[in-house]
Amino acid sequence: MRTSQLSLCMIVKNEENCIAKCLNSVKNVVDEIIIVDTGSTDKTIEICRSFQANTFKFEWNGSFADARNHAIQQASGEWILWLDADEELDRDDQHQLLEEKPFEDYDAINIHLINYYGNYADKNHSTNIAHTRLFRNNGIKFINKMHERLVLDQIPKERIGELPVKVHHYGYLDEFVKNKGKSKRNMLMLEQQIKDGENVHFAHYYIALEHYNHKQYPQALQRVNLSILSFLLEDFLPPSMVYKLKYSTLIAMGRLQEASQGIDKVINLYPDFVDLHFYKGVILYYLKDYVEAIKCFHHCLDLGEENMDYLVLKGVGSFQAWYYISLCQKELKKREDSIISIMNALLIAPTYEQGRELLCIYLKGEEDTPEVLAGNFKGEKLSKLEKIIQDLK
């Protein structure tokens, strides 16, 4: 059992709709709960106190980093866990934070942050990335007024560990994104950050992300290009997630020729980033180069989705790649191959809606689909697919 004291540190404002879910997920793991409130007018603090949280007021000064650092200053634990109110520690992973060894071996620990998108939390519509959420309470601080980050430069790389602990983040779901007040506030703060010359490259990126999340693609493209330019002017390689946003935006806008002209150069910069190879495959698919697209998607399957250095979209190295392989084979009139591929997708993600819709098309067509199934899948896989087909009827 862990002997090191662990303090949860959070900053909140008007989070009554989600704070209880967050605190419930960690109440049996942490030794103290530190809540810094930046101006709640609802029942947030009342709810936090019901979890025996220590609550502190912080006069908002426009800096998320300052608020988080204020929370750290109140913590007595040897280790800090930081979360946002719209996040939740996976209950199946709680026991890992009660073990001593990780806290002996490292000074900071990355976990798996899962971001959900769309109408509801569906693992098929999510991204996964390593994120530093645990660190020793020995002077480590946050910087940046907005989209704050920990300063870990002083920690040797071998002292930063990783645990397969999942934290679910719901803040990109539609119900949160549609909170126009929060979005407007974010945009104003980021614009001011640019005027002040602070972290300009990332400010442009996060403005682009706000536009993208609201499906304002022309504005998103303009800003992400400014972000890339700002990085290059400072002799920095733009991060992989910036290029990912650019090519996702170009695809959403249907600017496929433009996307196809630059994607290979970016892949050369980040050759092991599966999302970029997936986007290349999607571009080729829409340009009707199905044979080359299939090659890209098979490479995605080879790369997989386990590289936590990148912001990886769920399925691009598994079921989504199989889905697009199936679409390409369908266009190439390779019906049986297409059926096999879509079934491979559904074996990985049985609830994947687009995959189920494509299988429905085949089930309503010629009558040989069951024979294709029986001829290519055996045992547990066959039983699983038969159940999926039964559910679709």
CB atoms within 10 A of CB 41: 9
- Percent of the residues in the chain that have a pLDDT greater than 90, as a whole number: 82
Q: pLDDT class for 165, splitting at 50, 70, 90? A: very high
C-alpha–C-alpha distance, residues 219 and 325, integer Å? 32
The dihedrals phi and psi of 106, each to the nearest 5 degrees, come to -130, 165
Calculate the CA dihedral of residues 309, 312, 316, 317 and round it to 10 degrees.
Answer: 30
pLDDT at residue 285 tops 90: yes
391 pLDDT higher than 90: no
Q: Read off the pLDDT band of 191 (50, 70, 90).
A: very high
Beta strands in the chain (DSSP E): 6-12, 32-37, 54-57, 79-82, 87-89, 108-116, 126-136, 142-143, 149-150, 160-169, 312-313
Q: What is the pLDDT of residues 134-160, one digit of tens each?
A: 999 999 999 999 899 999 999 999 999
Q: Which amino acid is at 362?
A: Y
Q: How far apart (Å, rounded) are the C-alpha atoms in residues 117 and 248?
A: 14
**Residue 370 has what pLDDT?**
75
- Name the residue with tokens 């067509």: 365
Average pLDDT over residues 150-173: 94
For 163-194, b/e burial (b = at least 16 CB within 10 A) is: bebbbbbbbbbeebbeeeeebeebeebbeebb
CB count in 10 Å sphere of residue 28: 12
What architecture does CATH give domain 176-280?
A: Alpha Horseshoe (1.25)
Contact 362, 339 (CB under 8 A): yes
With a CB cutoff of 8 Å and minimum separation 6, the contacts of 86 are 15, 18, 22, 169, 170, 171, 176
Mean pLDDT of the chain: 94
Structure-token pair, residue 143: 């910087």
| Assigned CATH topology for domain 6-173 | Spore Coat Polysaccharide Biosynthesis Protein SpsA; Chain A (3.90.550)
Domain boundaries, the chain: 6-173, 176-280, 323-392
State the DSSP code for 237.
Answer: P
Q: Which of 32, 134, 132 is nearest to 80 (CA)?
A: 134
Mean pLDDT of 272-301: 98
CA dist list (Å): 389 to 355, 364, 370, 393: 12, 11, 9, 7
Answer yes or no: is pLDDT of 182 > 80: no
Average pLDDT over residues 280-300: 99
Residue 180 pLDDT > 90, yes or no? Answer: no
Same topology, domains 6-173 and 176-280? Answer is no
CA distance 107 to 324: 42
Tens-place pLDDT, residues 86-139:
999 999 999 999 998 889 999 999 999 999 998 899 999 999 999 999 999 999
Evaluate if residue 207 carries a pLDDT over 80: yes
* Non-local CB neighbours of 346 within 8 Å, separated by 6+ positions: 319, 352, 355, 356, 359, 385, 388
Range 251-276 average pLDDT: 98
Q: What is the tens place of the pLDDT at every residue in 313-345?
A: 999 999 999 999 999 999 999 999 999 999 999
Rounded to whole angstroms, the Cα distance separating 21 from 54 reads 17
Rounded to whole angstroms, the Cα distance separating 145 from 64 reads: 5
Spatial distance between the Cα atoms of 180 and 247, rounded to a whole number of angstroms: 25
Confidence of residue 295 (pLDDT cuts 50, 70, 90): very high
Beta carbons of 220 and 245 less than 8 angstroms apart:
yes
What does the pLDDT read at residue 149? 93
State residue 101's pLDDT score. Answer: 85
**CA 315 to each of CA 168, 170, 296, 312, 355: distance values in angstroms, whole numbers, following the listed order:** 17, 18, 14, 9, 12
